[in-house]
Amino acid sequence: MGVTDDMAPLYRRGGPGVRFRQGVVLAWDPATGANTIDLGGSSVTDVPILNTGEAIALRAGHVVGLLGQGKSWFIIGRVTPPNDPSFAGASLAFASQTASETNFTVPTALTARSTVVLDVPAWADEAAVMATGILSAQNTTGGALIAVAQAFIAGDGGPANQVTAPATPAVCSVATAHSRVVVSPGATITCEMRIRQTGGAGWAVQPGNIASLSALAIFRSTT
């Protein structure tokens, strides 16, 4: 018997080979993966899926690609054409920045000291953001006063933390933190630490006055 390079008969044994189809999600449970898929006009239930981050983001109406062998199918992922609004759905991205200011006054009105601006990916429609800051400043007045620091994310303020600064020449430090989920964030997200003190006059400019802010964002697409 001669040797042949034709291996096709090996893949025809036991039924048809691997097939590719597109289906439409009719129902999807992001907690368990239970699903119903429209496959060529017929409904199939609880189709397995490749274990990727996209698995929790599928929803009714999404088009998915499936591979089949015999009577079994599994989902290999969502199908989106170039320039489609749904491109990069279920994707994640990160951004972080740190800023610091020195040599400033501490006023009686709540004032922004230390600001960072995080760039938002064009495809992201949701962001989980955390901002943490610390104020270190010298009380230059003659009485014990309270220093206040408050972190803001896209204009939304977290808890206002405070500490009592004894009379001159005491230096005080106060930390603050805030987190929130920003929906439809736009092109950028601005984070600030705002500060003030409770006396009748602002604390004077001091080289050792420091306001530092760090912000971290995780972006995703929910479309």
Domains of the chain in sequence order: 8-78 (2.40.50.140), 92-220 (2.60.120.760)
First to last CA, the chain: 59
Could you give the dihedral angle defined by the CA atoms of residues 99, 96, 154 and 126, in that order, rounded to the nearest 10 degrees? 180
Residue at token pair 């740190």 = 98
pLDDT for position 88: 66
- Single-letter residue type at 62: H
Q: Which of 139, 16, 12 is nearest to 70 (CA)?
A: 16
126 beta partners = 183, 220
- Name residues of the chain where pLDDT drops below 50: 1-2, 7, 10-11
To the question of pTM greater than 0.85 for the whole model, the response is no
pLDDT for position 90: 65
Per-residue DSSP letter, 37: E
With 0-12 / 13-18 / 19 or more C-beta atoms within 10 angstroms meaning exposed / middle / buried, residue 37 is: buried
Report in angstroms the alpha-carbon separations of 33 from 46, 52, 154, 203, 223: 7, 12, 34, 58, 18
Strand 161-165 and strand 145-153: the pairing is antiparallel
pLDDT for position 10: 45
Report in angstroms the alpha-carbon separations of 35 from 19, 165, 171, 180: 20, 60, 60, 31
Q: Which residues contact 180 (CB under 8 A, 6 or more apart)?
A: 128, 129, 153, 154, 156
pLDDT for position 5: 56
Q: What is the 3-state secondary structure (H, E, C) of 92-135?
A: EEEEEEEEEEEEEEECCCCEEEEEEEEECCCCCCEEEEEEEEEE
149-168 pLDDT per residue, tens? 999 999 999 999 999 988 87
Q: Which of 68, 61, 62, 31 is nearest to 47 (CA)?
A: 68
